[in-house]
A and B are shown apart, each in its own frame.
Chain A
Amino acid sequence: MEAFMLSSRQLRRPAGNICRSCSRRLKLRATRSYSSTSTASTSTSQPDIYDVVCVGGGPAGLSLLAALKANPTTAGLRVALVEAQDLRKLRSWQPPPDRFSNRCSSLTPSSAKFLDRIGAWAHVDRARVQPYHEMQVWDGVSDARIEFDWALDQDAGRAPAGRKIAYMIENLNLTAGLLRRIDELGGVTSFEGAKVEDITFGGETDALDLREWPVVQLAGGKQLAARLLVGADGANSPVRTFAGIDSKGWDYERHGVVATLELEGHGWGGGDDSKIAYQRFLPTGPVAMLPMPGNYSTLVWSTTPANAALLKSLPAKDLVALVNAAFRLSPVDLQFMHTMSSGQEDEVSWRLQHTPVSAPQATPQPVIGVQDGTVASFPLKFRHADTYIGERVALVGDAAHTTHPLAGQGLNQGQGDVEALAGTIEYAVAHGQDLGARMSLEPYLARRYAANHVLMGVVDKLHKLYSVESGPLVPLRSLGLSAVNALAPVKGFFMRQAAGSGGKLF
């Protein structure tokens, strides 16, 4: 239970009528603070009044702002962005064409369609975006494969030729494009390099009662009163903490190791028009190689923290060898090589000679290099907020949920949230509802919570099913994979998720 510190709430009354513009000049002498230790409650600076204050300028927050400003119904809203990082670097982001950031995401066609609808897709550097057309998913222990017979997928209703399962995109390419779109649309008051110091409640005058309005306190004394405070502020969301919304879950005791890889060729299809995404379930977690333009790929290897530490410490040639091994050698061999502090390259090349080769397309083309400075890791967590809404608060993206990257859904879930929230806000504005009132936000919760919950549940269960090396679960698991094959609805779920039409589930 948060302690509320109440101090004197007298406010200087402005002369005459309080209109929207002069109320912005209202001097709040005191505010109610959500943190009992806050000193901001005696601040004398003025809160500016906004319809939407979005904390967080990551993919979720920027999409929301672009969506609101691109829609004629919501374009007139007074909107502010608060982002702790300096966005100037993002504005001038223009890396060499043969270097790729290690933070890439798989964007489903429905996310891409949404980004197109809000005018952001055109601002993305398309030369750096790589669609993929095929998926190879298999179990490292039993070697059972999920057969994605896309051509037979009547539900998807698409011709197999030219079918794009998803687009691989650098997070920075997406956020830079979104930022360009926002700058083009204009009308967003942006506080960049501005960290949220505290979030309090507003005060009261005879004419105005802002005691239920969140007031964002920035370093330097700036105060932003929010009709709706949006938490797009990532997994450790300060907005979520302010709203008293609990986020439950667990840590996977796994880290995601990412890197930009250089392959022997442009993929088995010979070009960017026919690329394959690979994912192999190892007992320590899935390892995925996702195609980027040309002969580049991005690695997402979920493994134990100790293995992750080793991978990050290896010289490039040994890391390359281990990555190649991860898609080819048995889990036992692989685990052995994680006990070596060096010399993986020779070990792998020797062992590969003794490993039966499957059809070339079944495994990714050999990796020949890793780009400098792209090897990094992050802890994997499962978190789901108890709710996404409160009075004058809404959570989107990682602030609302964090999931295992094995299904590549983290960013897409955030885009789905944003699309639903922007739609909910549009409806509220068009019908004169107070867009921050909990009741106005209910449709957002209804549209997203169950959908995210089901998806996250499936992803979590998959991780657990495949993260066991031996014992009764292994035959079960291979059975499980066959079952995935046999069970049209489950496979359909995956294929629809991959196609970004997972909403059809409901």
Chain B
Amino acid sequence: MPPRNGSRSLASSARLLRRPSPAQNTRIAATSLNKSFSTSTTRASPPPTSQPTDAAFTTVSPDEVSHFNALASSWWDPQGPSRILHLMNPLRHDFIRSCRASVLDDPPPPSTGLKYLDVGCGGGIFAESAARLPSTASVTAIDPSPEVLSVAKAHARRDPALAEKLSYANTSIEQLPLPQTPQETFDVVSVFEVIEHVSYPAEFLDRCTPFVKPGGWLVLSTIARTWTSWLTTNIMAEDVLRIVPRGTHDWRKYINEEEMRRHFLQKRTGWAEPRCMGVIYIPGFGWKEVSGSEKFGNYFFAVRRVAES
């Protein structure tokens, strides 16, 4: 196996640290996942209210949440298991910036006063950083795990610059009240390293999309489902390198970039301008954008909500 694959295994394992789950559970979930993601029919988004909105319905797997709680304390340890996520974080901003800069609207979209919704914020690595940007007006960050969220809140107290802009809510996206007016929507809705761990990704994304402002962006990151990623995450990271506990990966939950694209552009309406960036982790060097790598490894994906005319 070439060394590159070994490095990718680290990348994948970091992502998995966000939502590790026992093997049996994910296997069941994965079956339904693939079905739900590939067979759901075209419908407009935001989804009609006839979709399940009761509090009992959730795309969050309880096992994912509880398994993750154990990792909460190490979230901000720069040498801990989340290090690789910390290192990835600047690329998220580069990607969002490049997406926003790639549209040629006239007049151009505002470059300040931006509102973010970070879904599955974890310890707040992205949420804190987004709140610190001078171009940001506010960041709402949500996560269903109370332990993780308390870590996020405790950490945010360490930075006096955050209180004004950053607010956390211990909730799943299902329980977050839908925006009633355009003012309640967000310029950027981010879903980083989450999608591959939710039980019903199509439904999950349908929960997120109503929060995107027309002209705004849904941005996510995940990993492609390929033989390489199966080898690097399931075999290398778990069995060979043992960076993460066995059974935390379910490769069948991974979603390929083409599938993501098809979901938004063919199975849903009101979305345009898909963007993608493949990234690879090189030990000792950090994360690097490698064009084409989205086909087999970690990638960022963004899609823009069509502005209403």
Which residues of A does B touch, CB under 8 Å?
17-20, 23, 49, 76, 207-210, 212-213, 227, 427, 429-434, 437-439
Q: Are the CB atoms of B133 and A432 closer together than 8 Å?
A: yes
Q: Which residues of B contact A17 (CB under 8 A)?
A: 163-164
Q: Are the CB atoms of A209 and B154 closer together than 8 Å?
A: yes
Q: Are the CB atoms of A431 and B90 closer together than 8 Å?
A: yes
Q: Which residues of A contact B131 (CB under 8 A)?
A: 432
B159 interface residue (CB < 8 Å to A): yes
Q: Are the CB atoms of A439 and B130 closer together than 8 Å?
A: no
The 7 tightest CB contacts between A and B, nearest first, are A432-B129, A431-B90, A432-B132, A439-B78, A23-B160, A209-B157, A19-B164
Q: In this complex, what residue of B is CB-closest to A437?
A: B78
Q: In this complex, what residue of B is CB-closest to A204?
A: B157
What is the distance, in angstroms, from A88's C-beta to the closest C-beta of chain B? 33
How distant is the Cα of A102 from the Cα of B161 in the complex, in angstroms?
Answer: 45
Given contacts A209-B154, A432-B131, contact A20 B161 (CB under 8 A): yes
B203 interface residue (CB < 8 Å to A): no
- Give the most central of A17, A227, A431, A438: most B CB within 10 Å: A431
A-B CB contact pairs (8 Å), 30 listed: A17-B163, A18-B163, A19-B163, A20-B160, A20-B164, A23-B160, A23-B163, A49-B160, A76-B134, A207-B157, A207-B163, A208-B158, A209-B154, A209-B157, A209-B158, A210-B158, A210-B160, A212-B158, A431-B94, A432-B93, A432-B132, A432-B136, A433-B89, A433-B90, A433-B132, A434-B132, A434-B159, A437-B78, A438-B78, A439-B78
Q: Are the CB atoms of A208 and B132 closer together than 8 Å?
A: no
Q: Is the interface of A mostly helix, strand, loop or mixed?
A: loop
What is the distance, in angstroms, from A394's C-beta to the closest C-beta of chain B? 15
How distant is the Cα of A429 from the Cα of B135 in the complex, in angstroms?
Answer: 11
Q: How large is the interface on B (under 10, 10 to 19, 20 to 34, 35 or more residues)?
A: 20 to 34
How distant is the Cα of A210 from the Cα of B164 in the complex, in angstroms?
Answer: 16
Q: Which of A18, A431, A437 contacts B160 (CB 8 A)?
A: A18
Which residues of B does A touch, CB under 8 Å?
78, 83, 86, 89-90, 93-94, 128-134, 136, 154, 157-161, 163-164
How distant is the Cα of A17 from the Cα of B86 in the complex, in angstroms?
Answer: 28
How distant is the Cα of A186 from the Cα of B94 in the complex, in angstroms?
Answer: 30
- Count of A-B residue pairs with CB < 8 Å: 56
Q: In this complex, what residue of A is CB-closest to B159?
A: A434
What is the distance, in angstroms, from A391's C-beta to the closest C-beta of chain B? 9
- Give the most central of B89, B131, B164: most A CB within 10 Å: B164
Q: In this complex, what residue of B is CB-closest to A78?
A: B161
Q: In this complex, what residue of A is CB-closest to B163?
A: A18
Q: Are the CB atoms of A439 and B86 closer together than 8 Å?
A: yes
Q: In this complex, what residue of B is CB-closest to A435?
A: B132
Q: Which of B130, B158, B163 contacts A432 (CB 8 A)?
A: B130
Q: Which residues of B contact A210 (CB under 8 A)?
A: 158, 160
How distant is the Cα of A109 from the Cα of B114 in the complex, in angstroms?
Answer: 42
Q: Are the CB atoms of A432 and B78 closer together than 8 Å?
A: no
What is the distance, in angstroms, from B137's C-beta to the closest C-beta of chain A? 14
Q: Which residues of B contact A213 (CB under 8 A)?
A: 158
How distant is the Cα of A108 from the Cα of B15 in the complex, in angstroms?
Answer: 45
Q: Which residues of B contact A433 (CB under 8 A)?
A: 89-90, 129, 132
Q: In this complex, what residue of B is CB-closest to A17?
A: B163
Q: Which residues of A contact B89 (CB under 8 A)?
A: 431, 433
What is the distance, in angstroms, from A440's C-beta to the closest C-beta of chain B? 9
How distant is the Cα of A434 from the Cα of B93 in the complex, in angstroms?
Answer: 14
How distant is the Cα of A168 from the Cα of B255 in the complex, in angstroms?
Answer: 62
How distant is the Cα of A76 from the Cα of B161 in the complex, in angstroms?
Answer: 13
Q: Which residues of B contact A49 (CB under 8 A)?
A: 160
Q: Are the CB atoms of A427 and B86 closer together than 8 Å?
A: no
Q: In this complex, what residue of A is CB-closest to B160?
A: A23
Q: Which residues of A contact B157 (CB under 8 A)?
A: 207-209
How distant is the Cα of A438 from the Cα of B77 in the complex, in angstroms?
Answer: 10
What is the distance, in angstroms, from B118's C-beta to the closest C-beta of chain A? 12
How distant is the Cα of A49 from the Cα of B162 in the complex, in angstroms?
Answer: 13
Q: In this complex, what residue of A is CB-closest to B77?
A: A439
Given contacts A431-B93, A437-B78, A439-B78, contact A208 B160 (CB under 8 A): yes
Q: Are the CB atoms of A434 and B78 closer together than 8 Å?
A: no
Q: In this complex, what residue of A is CB-closest to B126?
A: A432
